[in-house]
A and B are shown apart, each in its own frame.
Chain A
Amino acid sequence: MKTALPLLLATCVSAHVVAQEDAAPHRQLLDRYCVTCHSDRLETAGLSLEDIDVGNPLEHAEVWEKVVRKLRTGTMPPPNRTPPPIEDSLALRTWLESNLDAAAEMQPFAGRTESLRRLNRTEYQNAIRDLLALDIDGATLLPPDEAGHGFDNVNVGDLSPALLDRYISAAQRVSRLAVGTTLTSVQGDVIRVPADMTQEDHMEGLPIGTRGGVVVSYTFAQDGEYDIQIRLARNRGGFVGGLRQPEDHTLELLIDRERVELFTIEKPPEGDDHARVDEHLKARIEVTAGPHDVGVTFFKRAASLLETERQPLQSHFNETRHPRQTPAVYEMSITGPYNATGATDTPSRRRLFVCEPTQLSQSIEENCAEQILMTVMRRAYRRPVSTDELNGPMEFFREGRAEGDFDVGIGKALSALLMNPSFLFRVESDPEEVADGGVYRISDLELASRLSFFLWSSIPDDELLDAAISGVLSEPDELERQTRRMLADSRSFNLASNFAGQWLRLRNLEAVTPNARLYPDFDDNLRQAFRKETEMFFDSVLREDRSVVDLLSSDYTFLNERLAKHYGIPNIYGSRFRRVSLDPVSKRGGLLRHGSILSVTSYATRTSPVIRGVWVLDNIFGAPPPPPLPNVPSLEENAVAANLPMRERLAAHRTNAVCASCHRTIDPVGFALENFDAIGRWREHEGDNGLMDASGGLPGVGDFVGVSGLEDGLLSRPDLFTGTLAEKLLTFALGRGVEFYDAPAIRKIVRDVESEGYRFSSVILGIVNSVPFQMRNST
């Protein structure tokens, strides 16, 4: 595909290129400022600009797009070389961009998404939710997906045996839960609380006046009785943690916030091994089929404040560093049903059973089954379904019907259609009339799927599908209307949780485990609060249709008590997250001040200006530094005294010529964030080394001090941030890496949204209306 490109562009070159002599000044600039390093002889970074014809940029579009990016971000020439006069550099960039953009306008090149892309874990979970009104935990059903280009929906063309096996299990389980047939016997699930979760205070979603515990939305397959057993968290000696005081503790079991059982936990006599402390925490309860909130929590006892000389820690989960003060839940296991009577009325059944057979007649039953299956298949396959396609699922229906009843038949047919490639895969195929390598507009049905998987990571709803089937979706007004409708829908929270979760690397939070000695006050509660703050903040900018640059600079955020205490912001009480207006002294606001991002870019023991610098350059500024050279050893941490200021420890980076070529750009970006420690707390000092020196700089922008300096620098170039965001969104929307031939589309989006005040919806619409989103090149 890539090799075919120069040829393709060459065919349209002659009509566009301005006369050769216009390019003479550009050649001079290149010769003077670039060719010193990028010569045929040196080929620095594998690039020579010596003989390449700048008069005809389309001939080497891939090279010139690199040059454009370097010029735009000011990352070339490097800081220690003389830069060309700004007007000249701008003229060169404009010359290149206008040629490349004009060619793209005349002869669009859309690239090629993969023809077969399976639903990844998140998409599968969301699709089941929307198809069957059933909430499943994708993480327990399917393995994680490998990421490519920063997103886990890129490398999804494969189907390993292990994956196929899990998809089969998932289909079986989903159909069992959705239908709730009486044939299935006792099943079980174990819900575990993270071992590093503190349970001393109120948890969101549980009643006021309680502390600790866990609440989950759990789908019961059938009406019947279920055993619920609770085990308490133990410490390394095998003792139940937090049973120091002689008083009893009361544990409450709740279904949909109604108490169904109370247990008393007594402190066992001295010398007991605690094996039986939680033996009796077991109840058999009667529940109707469908989703219920199952909660287990302790009565909170009014306790006087601990008298300590130091500020008490927030975290309590580890016996050595910060022991539990009161008992905590480790796991809740749900087993059942016993004395089951099938499912009567559940959200899934309401959605699935669009008819009920009125009498026991084969033809009536089969008619109804066909009606049910046709409705599900149309949604699941995201297209109209022919009656022929019913044959397979109907065979499964008849098998099941023969073994059991109507519901068993529907369950079997449902599992079969969940294993149909039309559901499991997103298929895009070339129309026959398109010439090899030619570009074509994708069908309305393909467009509908691209749109819904972009905004919702899920299947289209009926309204979107109807618009596609009737052929109006690709009309610009209708497409905009549908896009805005979908953005307003709650499902677009997916852009915060799934897109931003990957773009900003919030997902890596799960792996963040700061050193317990240096950061004893870190626990899962803080980790989850970090993530929630950023997701809610991103969602608010999207939902209120603010300018996307507000992501970098904001006078509000979302906090609960745990996070507010961590940030040192007073007067926020309770576990609930709420929008908080920020005073400038709070040091909080835009994304770069969020604990989530500051922690995922740190090591377990310290901050890393390098990781932070690379993170900002890659994800915000759009100038990802090249990876470290393969044969350069990383800076030996032990070789540099650990008590020196970070800036001095990293000095070798900038004095060693090999390292310096990149680190002169990277490190100053990270230094600007040094006022935030490895878990995102504000600090004025670095250990015993006096006041923190947070001076830094950005290429093409200049030097500044601290996070606000960095923010101002980034805000001075809204084109770069918007372009970077658009590239990330396009990667996510297409499920492929953004290539040089996509650059004109990105530039068009950036130009168009400027007049719209960089509003979030205009960026999303820019993606939706772009060539790569609406078109595709055939092989």
Chain B
Amino acid sequence: MIITKKALPRRTFLRGLQATLALPLLDAMIPAATALAKTAAKPVPRLGYVFVPMGCHHDKWIPEGEGVLRQLSPSLSPLEPVRDQLTVVTNLELEMSYPGTHDTSNSGFLSAAFAKHTESSDYHLGTTADQLAAKQIGQDTQLPSLELCMDVDPLAGVCNNGYACVYQNSLSWSSPTTPLPSEAHPRMVFERLFGEGGTPEERRAALQNRASLLDSFSADVQQLKARLTAGDRIRVDQYLDSIREVERQIQRAEHGAMNNPEPDMDRPTGVPVSFADHARLMFDLQALALQGDLTRVITFQLTRELNNRTYPEIGVPDPHHPTSHHGNDPGKLEKIAKINTYHVSFFSEFLQKLAATPDGDGSLLDHTVYLYGSGIGNPSIHDHENLPILVVGGAGCGMKGGQHIRYADQTPLANLHMTLLDRVGVHLDSFGDSNAKVENLFDEVTV
């Protein structure tokens, strides 16, 4: 669609507002040409969380030694290109998830909370870390948070061991009784991010059209105001506030479109059949969402607990879940390691994309922190300790990277959640079963 000049005069109202616009924080807050790490105001990172089910094969997962991360383990080897931004944390646990189940692996991962044992709608968990973050850093973006998954249909009823399926479906809970649905259909995600328009040109045109409609609505509301009594005019003033807020949102979206290379993705139509294609697409959508500053908090369930997907493309023709009950069978352990490595490889591809995307005075990865891991340690016995946990990115936000934090004793995963939340301005005395913060993850500069 060609936008003629005729459409432009309607935008004058909007243009006038540009001066007061809140630009995305990263660009607006940092003086030009200042090295990020040296500025006093450390930017607040965006937060992402990737969940993988059914633990890992520890021998192939845990890197040698501790402190500086010199050599990656076999399962983590795909992360070599981003090693300097990677922190491996070993010996974390989810105590509240016991007695060990697949359901509480998922539900505890971001909540560190106890899941009420029930088969019906009186479920109860805890507000998850991502949602606490979204309340703090998600309020200025189009979406406060984005919840993604890979298994298309949510399960209904009871799932396992008498737990309602919501515990397995939802990673994110906005309150102890409000599980958030997650979306696996790439097109649905795309539409939440970019609205209806199909091609980038159409999306831009749709944005222009929205602004015109808003202008026209604003003018009509002003006219209406004249007909009303004093009390009712206060109401109309509230509408005018809303109009200005929506204008800011449109402006922000336009700003994003101008300053970032236009996402060169056309609307995805269906769900890709192959796991690899689907996973890459879901990661690409996250990159687009972060790049356009459409959201600053993302959760992604890369596979659901108990899943029986097979991975013949990497030599694992066996379903994941029964294989994970390896009983120390070397063949099965090898296959689990392969699945772990495969999952990590998609994550790594995504991180490399973030690292290659300029953002403010650095890359998108410099300003984004992702936590990756599972709520189960050893899948053969459903335990919730010695969890495979990675933290990546955030070099521009004070994250040290390139290290292996190895706790001597089992330490709550909640400590890590609390540390990341602290970094985005959510200061809690405790979270879940936390008992301390994770030391040395960030440079010792307070935000």
A interface with B by C-beta (< 8 Å): 115-116, 157-161, 163-165, 168-169, 171-173, 183-188, 190, 194-196, 227, 229, 231, 233-239, 271-276, 279, 282, 317-318, 320-321, 330-331, 333, 335, 392, 396, 398-399, 402-404, 412, 415-416, 419-422, 425, 427, 429-430, 511-517, 603-605, 778-779
Contact = CB atoms under 8 A, between A and B. Distances in A.
A421 B304 contact: no
B227 A333 contact: no
Given A168-B214, A275-B309, A116 B152 contact: no
A427 B269 CA distance: 42
B224 A427 contact: yes
B271 A231 contact: yes
Contact of B217 (A271, A275, A419): A419
B317 A234 contact: no
A155 to B, nearest CB: 13
B162 A517 contact: yes
B152 A231 contact: yes
Contacts of B238: 158-159
A274 B308 CA distance: 9
Contact of B273 (A172, A275, A402): A275
B308 to A, nearest CB: 4
Contacts of B275: 275
17 contacts: A115-B232, A164-B243, A184-B202, A187-B196, A190-B188, A236-B159, A237-B308, A271-B318, A273-B310, A317-B156, A333-B269, A396-B212, A396-B216, A399-B4, A402-B4, A514-B120, A515-B118
B119 A517 contact: yes
A471 B97 CA distance: 70
A714 B318 CA distance: 65
B2 interface: yes
B120 A115 contact: no
B242 A161 contact: yes
Contact of B159 (A173, A320, A517): A320
Given A160-B242, A515-B118, 13 more contacts: A115-B229, A169-B196, A186-B269, A190-B188, A234-B153, A236-B165, A274-B308, A317-B157, A320-B160, A331-B152, A419-B214, A427-B227, A778-B229
Contacts of A514: 120
Contact of A420 (B4, B153, B217): B217
Given A234-B151, A234-B152, A320-B160, A239 B242 contact: no
A159 B2 contact: no
A229 B270 contact: yes
A168 B269 contact: no
A331 B187 CA distance: 13
A318 B162 CA distance: 12
A416 B216 contact: yes
B306 interface: yes
A164 B242 contact: yes
Main secondary structure of the interface of A (DSSP, over half): loop
Interface of B: 1-4, 6-7, 118-122, 151-160, 162, 165, 168, 185, 187-188, 191, 195-199, 202, 206, 209-210, 212-214, 216-217, 219-221, 224, 227-229, 231-232, 235-236, 238-239, 242-243, 245-246, 249, 267, 269-271, 273-275, 304, 306-310, 317-319, 321
A172 B310 contact: no
Nearest to B310: A273
Contacts of A274: 308
Contacts of A235: 155
A7 to B, nearest CB: 19
Contacts of B270: 227, 229, 282, 333, 335
Given A238-B307, A516-B157, A185 B213 contact: no
Nearest to A416: B216
Contacts of B318: 271
Contacts of B153: 195, 231, 233-234, 330-331
A422 B196 CA distance: 26
A693 B306 CA distance: 46
Contacts, number: 209
- Most chain B beta carbons < 10 A, residue from A172, A279, A778: A172
B213 A429 contact: no
Contacts of A272: 310
A165 B246 contact: yes
A605 B310 contact: no
A282 B270 CA distance: 10
Contacts of A185: 197-199, 202
A402 B269 CA distance: 31
B307 A237 contact: yes
A751 B30 CA distance: 74
Given A161-B242, A237-B319, A196 B196 contact: no
Contacts of B249: 161, 165
B227 A429 contact: yes
Nearest to B219: A392
A159 B220 CA distance: 15
Contacts of A427: 224, 227
Nearest to B317: A271
Contacts of B273: 275-276, 279
A321 B157 contact: yes
Contacts of A516: 119-120, 157-158
A159 B242 contact: yes
A274 B153 CA distance: 14
Contacts of A190: 185, 187-188
Contacts of B198: 184-187
A305 B307 CA distance: 32
A396 B215 CA distance: 12
B152 A188 contact: no
A171 B158 contact: no
